[in-house]
């Protein structure tokens, strides 16, 4: 048995029984990284020495009976989460040399529970994208098929977990960036309810939509990660004071009597046949397990893309105004006036997609256009929230595709940003409404590419999603299935 192939729960069990040490586990992942990284490019930085030191510490603590709930477990984090004294690049030249002076709350929580942060992983620049191809420091590759995208923006998180390089990862999801790469790489990904997990120390993209979420090899591990990262944080003013309970508790409770809505708008034109089959199979699994399946309507789904691609860029244009060469990161040193320094710094530091978003966002917020664009989009957002409210009066959760297709070849979407935006159609609404969404592996396309099934539920009902996903996972047998990676 190679330790890197274990889930978190299995590893903890072996650690407890002294059949494995944290050092073995971390070393196994580091070796796996060494072997596969030339192919996968998941990481922007790997903390070899520090991780081994931390593993030893955790082994010692365990000896003394002081271990935490994730003691000695190697975890990667997306490179937009601040980890003290390490670079946090956000996948951008702009922050290439930025060293975090403090820990994000989620990083603090992981370390308090004994997790070993093994490195920081690749992402679309400032989390803007669905392929991870806009990362300034190497593009991650899909562990299931060479030359295919991982999805994005948490692509490095997904490839590092699916590729056996770590046991779990933290990503962020503003419009699908945890769920979609999880789907495309065959792992579990959860976007928690807005306010459930602290955003303190997460570099902001669109603050009213951003949530940190775990990517794991199976549903139980997802619950374990949530137990660690969820909870109120006074450092995040949008964090919600609500009991988190134990996310593992409901996993095995069964789904009998639960009502599952199948929103008809999610099954229209443009949905790949294999993806549809896999999602319908997920519906059948839940029905067989005793859930009541019903047809429901989310009538405003088609407006999600337009609303999101105004609101997210508007917030981004404001959040990214701070990167002007004065306080953080990159500065063009050749300019001879302040104005030129701003201009040149931003022209050189940001990539094309980030610039596109800043332009759209600034335009949408400018006086004269604010009412027509930003305000309108905010109104649409309320309408979408109302769609969810109505649907959740009829059912406990909804089931759908995460994305219209499986992974595609790298480079294929480079020239058509609009088509790429449209591929987010099924994931954006959860962020607009703040509800939780989860992607669980559902099967493979005829080409051998993984496809996830999306479950969404009412605010703070992650427990329902985990329970449903656990049932699907049991039936598909797709927990912790790792691809062969050709060396």
136-155: contacts with ligand GLN (CB under 6 A): 153
Q: Classify strands 259-263 and 397-401 as parallel, antiparallel or unpaired.
A: parallel
Catalytic residue among 76, 132, 153, 439: 153
CA–chain centroid gap for 449, Å, is 19
Shortest distance, position 173 Cβ to ligand GLN, whole Å: 5
Catalytic residue among 11, 23, 78, 439: 78
Would you say 177 or 216 has its CB closer to ligand GLN? 177
Task: Pick the binder of ligand GLN from 175, 181, 213, 231 (CB under 6 A).
Answer: 175
Contact status: 176 vs ligand GLN (CB under 6 A): yes
Would you say 130 or 160 has its CB closer to ligand GLN? 130
Would you say 129 or 261 has its CB closer to ligand GLN? 129
**Cβ–Cβ < 8 Å for 198, 156:** no
Contacts of 312 by beta carbon, 8 Å cutoff, 6+ apart: 174, 175, 205, 206, 209, 357, 361
Would you say 133 or 463 has its CB closer to ligand GLN? 133
Task: Pick the binder of ligand GLN from 127, 202, 224, 285 (CB under 6 A).
Answer: 127
Would you say 251 or 402 has its CB closer to ligand GLN? 402
Contact status: 351 vs ligand GLN (CB under 6 A): no
Concerning whether 153 is annotated as a catalytic residue, the answer is yes
Stretch that binds ligand GLN, among 37-45, 75-83, 125-133, 223-231 (CB under 6 A): 125-133
Concerning whether 177 is annotated as a catalytic residue, the answer is yes
Catalytic residue among 100, 177, 427, 429: 177
Would you say 36 or 319 has its CB closer to ligand GLN? 319
Contact status: 437 vs ligand GLN (CB under 6 A): no
Would you say 230 or 304 has its CB closer to ligand GLN? 304
Concerning whether 78 is annotated as a catalytic residue, the answer is yes
Contact status: 125 vs ligand GLN (CB under 6 A): no
Shortest distance, position 9 Cβ to ligand GLN, whole Å: 27
297-326: contacts with ligand GLN (CB under 6 A): 312
Task: Pick the binder of ligand GLN from 173, 233, 462, 473 (CB under 6 A).
Answer: 173
**Cβ–Cβ < 8 Å for 229, 197:** yes
**Cβ–Cβ < 8 Å for 105, 330:** no
Distance between CA 46 and CA 208 in Å, rounded?
31
Stretch that binds ligand GLN, among 27-35, 49-57, 132-140, 170-178 (CB under 6 A): 170-178
199-228: contacts with ligand GLN (CB under 6 A): 205
Task: Pick the binder of ligand GLN from 58, 79, 125, 424 (CB under 6 A).
Answer: 424
Contact status: 21 vs ligand GLN (CB under 6 A): no
Question: Both tokens of residue 115?
Answer: 């997790």
Contact status: 128 vs ligand GLN (CB under 6 A): yes
Task: Tell me the number of residues near ligand GLN by CB under 6 A.
Answer: 13
Distance between CA 444 and CA 140 in Å, rounded?
20
Shortest distance, position 433 Cβ to ligand GLN, whole Å: 14
| Number of other CB atoms surrounding residue 272 within 10 Å | 15
Contact status: 129 vs ligand GLN (CB under 6 A): yes
Would you say 206 or 472 has its CB closer to ligand GLN? 206
Which residues of the chain form contacts with ligand GLN (CB under 6 A)?
127-130, 153, 173-177, 205, 312, 424
Catalytic residues: 78, 153, 177
């Amino acid at each position: 048995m190679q330790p890197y192939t274990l889930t978190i729960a299995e590893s903890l069990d072996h650690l407890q029984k002294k059949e494995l040490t944290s050092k073995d586990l971390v070393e196994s992942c580091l070796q796996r990284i060494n072997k596969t990284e030339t192919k996968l490019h998941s990481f922007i930085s790997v903390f070899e020495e520090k991780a081994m030191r931390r593993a030893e510490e955790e082994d010692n603590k365990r000896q003394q009976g002081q271990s935490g709930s994730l003691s000695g477990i190697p975890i990667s984090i997306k490179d937009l989460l601040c980890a003290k004294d390490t670079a946090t690049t956000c996948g951008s030249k702009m922050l290439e040399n930025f060293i975090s002076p403090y820990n994000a709350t989620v990083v603090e929580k992981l370390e308090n529970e004994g997790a070993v942060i093994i490195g920081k992983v690749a992402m679309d620049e400032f989390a803007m994208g669905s392929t991870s191809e806009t990362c300034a420091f190497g593009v991650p590759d899909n562990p299931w098929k060479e030359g295919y995208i991982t999805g994005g923006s948490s692509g490095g998180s997904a490839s590092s977990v699916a590729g056996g390089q770590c046991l779990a990862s933290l990503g962020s999801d503003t419009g699908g960036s945890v769920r979609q790469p999880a789907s495309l790489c065959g792992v579990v990904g959860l976007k928690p309810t807005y306010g459930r997990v602290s955003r303190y120390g997460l570099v902001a993209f669109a603050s009213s939509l951003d949530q940190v979420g775990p990517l794991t090899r199976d549903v139980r591990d997802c619950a374990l990660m949530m137990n660690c990262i969820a909870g109120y944080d006074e450092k995040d003013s949008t964090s919600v004071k609500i009991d988190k309970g134990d996310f593992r508790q409901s996993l095995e409770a069964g789904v009998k009597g639960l009502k599952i809505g199948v929103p008809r708008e999610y099954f229209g034109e443009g949905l790949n046949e294999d993806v549809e089959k896999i999602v319908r199979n997920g519906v059948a699994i839940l029905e067989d397990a005793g859930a009541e399946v019903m047809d429901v309507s989310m009538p405003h789904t088609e407006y999600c893309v337009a609303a999101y691609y105004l609101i997210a860029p508007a917030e981004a244009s404001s959040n990214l105004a701070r990167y002007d060469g004065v306080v953080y990161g990159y500065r063009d040193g050749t300019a001879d006036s302040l104005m030129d320094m701003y201009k040149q710094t931003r022209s050189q530091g940001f990539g094309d997609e980030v610039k596109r978003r800043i332009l759209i966002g600034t335009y949408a917020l400018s006086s004269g256009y604010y009412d027509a664009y930003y305000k309108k989009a905010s109104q649409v957002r309320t309408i979408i929230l109302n769609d969810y409210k109505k649907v959740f009066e009829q059912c406990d959760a909804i089931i759908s595709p995460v994305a219209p297709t499986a992974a595609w070849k790298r480079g294929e979407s480079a020239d058509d940003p609009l088509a790429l935006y449209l591929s987010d159609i099924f994931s954006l609404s959860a962020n607009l409404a703040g509800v939780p969404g989860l992607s669980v592996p559902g099967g493979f396309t005829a080409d051998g590419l993984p496809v996830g099934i999306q479950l969404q539920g009412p605010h703070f009902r992650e427990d329902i999603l985990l329970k449903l996903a656990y049932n699907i996972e049991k039936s598909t047998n797709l927990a912790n299935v790792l691809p062969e990676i050709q060396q």
